[in-house]
Amino acid sequence: MVRRAIESRPDKKRRERLVLLEKTDLLAAFAASGEPRIRVRQFGAVNWLGLWTLYLREVRRFLKVSMQTVIAPVVTTLLFLAIFLLAFAGQRGAVAGVPFAQFLAPGLIMMAMIQNAFANTTSSLMIAKIQGSMSDLLMPPLSPAELVWGFALGGVTRGLICGSAVAIAMIIAVHVNIADWRLILFHGVAASLLLSVLGILAALWAEKYDHIAAVTNFLVMPLSFLSGTFYSIDRLPASLRFVADFNPFFYMIDGFRAGFIAHADGSLTIGIAIMIAINGALLALAHFLFARGYKLKP
């Protein structure tokens, strides 16, 4: 009777009512069958698929513009190398028992890695915040830890790719030895992770690109340039040695360089412990801020 009455109405209203009736019949059939209307997908302790998808998104994002994100840092670092070699190589003898070029190369590689790891996470999150697409990242079933690690690992990957590209390019001009590949791998990954998570924290705090520029100019760049990238800290006066002792960038570059030239200006054990502690603290802070939704929700 109800269907006949609906079919007797004008075309537009008849179609709307028939669609509504069909939906009602479908819901009634689901209820009669005892099946739940919505099934919640179970991911387990970690949503590996979601984490992998976010990581791939971050990697493909910077590889899409590889000329800007990979090739440009290689060219810039090679220019630094050329300028320092032309300006100082003839005036400087051996540094830490190796030629100046071999001492300088690991520091430049590390500087390229950390700068690009930092830039990857800051640019990704700042673009999402400014364009209003942050909700697209918060809607998927990803926990705060999965979001942090997805962004952080994307930054680590960019840092390692840039560092590898710079190292390959430098082999043409500098004779590079590998004394301990374990030190190189650990400090390369740990340093890229540290700057990648620091970039996450900076992007969460920042409200515009000027804030990111302030962090880069007043924190990242001074710490990297005062970390022994271009000189041995043995040349510092004793009264200024604390500048390196309290600079985490010194330990990442010193340990990374030790993997190439088998010489460290500081304690490798202390440096490794500091790197692990700082990374753990920054990851915990980033997880806390994501869990609270700090400056993420409009």
Give a yes or no: residue 142 inside a domain: yes
Judgement on whether residues 199 and 264 belong to the same structural domain of the protein: yes
Same domain, 203 and 98: yes
Which of the listed ranges 198-212, 238-252, 284-298 does the model predict with the highest average pLDDT?
198-212
* Residue 170 belongs to some domain of the structure: yes
| pLDDT class of 108 with cuts at 50, 70, 90 | very high
Report the pLDDT averaged over residues 16-30. 52
40 pLDDT band (50/70/90 cuts)?
A: low
Band (30; pLDDT cuts 50, 70, 90): very low
Whether 123 shows a pLDDT value over 90: the answer reads yes
With contact defined as beta carbons under 8 Å apart, do 209 and 138 qualify?
A: no
10 Å Cβ neighbour count for 177? 10
Domain shared by 182 and 72, yes or no: yes
Cβ pair 242, 166 in contact under 8 A: no
Residues 96-124 have a mean pLDDT of 90
How many angstroms from the chain centroid is the CA of residue 207? 19
* For residues 280-294, average pLDDT: 94
Residue 22 pLDDT grade (very low, low, confident, very high; cuts 50, 70, 90): low
Give the phi and the psi of residue 253 in degrees, each rounded to 5: -75, -40
Residue 9: phi, psi to the nearest 5?
-80, 170
- Band (137; pLDDT cuts 50, 70, 90): confident
Return the pLDDT at 103: 86
Structure tokens, 210: 């000027």
What pLDDT digit, counting tens, does each position of 243-282 carry? 778 889 999 999 999 999 888 888 899 999 999 999 999 9
Residues 122 and 86 in one domain: yes
* Cβ-count burial 214-228 (b if 16+ within 10 Å, e if not): ebbeeebeeebebbb
Query: Is 163 found in the same domain as 122?
Result: yes
Quote the domain boundaries for residue 23. 1-39
In the DSSP assignment, the letter for residue 98 is B
Domain count across the chain: 2
Comparison of pLDDT for 204 and 172, the residue scoring more: 204
| pLDDT for residue 62 | 94
Lowest-confidence pick of 11-20, 97-106, 275-284:
11-20
Three-state DSSP class for residue 95:
strand
Task: Please answer whether residues 248 and 270 qualify as being in contact, where contact means their C-beta atoms are separated by less than 8 angstroms.
Answer: no
The per-residue pLDDT of the chain, averaged, comes to: 84
Residue 7 pLDDT: 47
Identify the pLDDT of residue 2: 44
pLDDT, position 159: 96
The average pLDDT across 174-200 equals 93
- Give domain status of residue 297, yes or no: no
Amino acid (1-letter code) at residue 219: L
Q: Is residue 220 part of a domain?
A: yes
Asked if the structure places residue 44 within a domain, the reply is no
Split at pLDDT 50, 70, 90, the class of 28 is: low
Phi, psi of 290 (to 5 degrees): -65, -40
Same domain, 112 and 230: yes
| Domain-embedded: residue 35 | yes
**268 occurs within a structural domain:** yes
Token pair for residue 237? 């006066």
For residue 298, tell me if it sits in a domain. Answer: no
Query: CA 233 to CA 284: how far, in whole Å?
Result: 31
Confidence of residue 232 (pLDDT cuts 50, 70, 90): confident
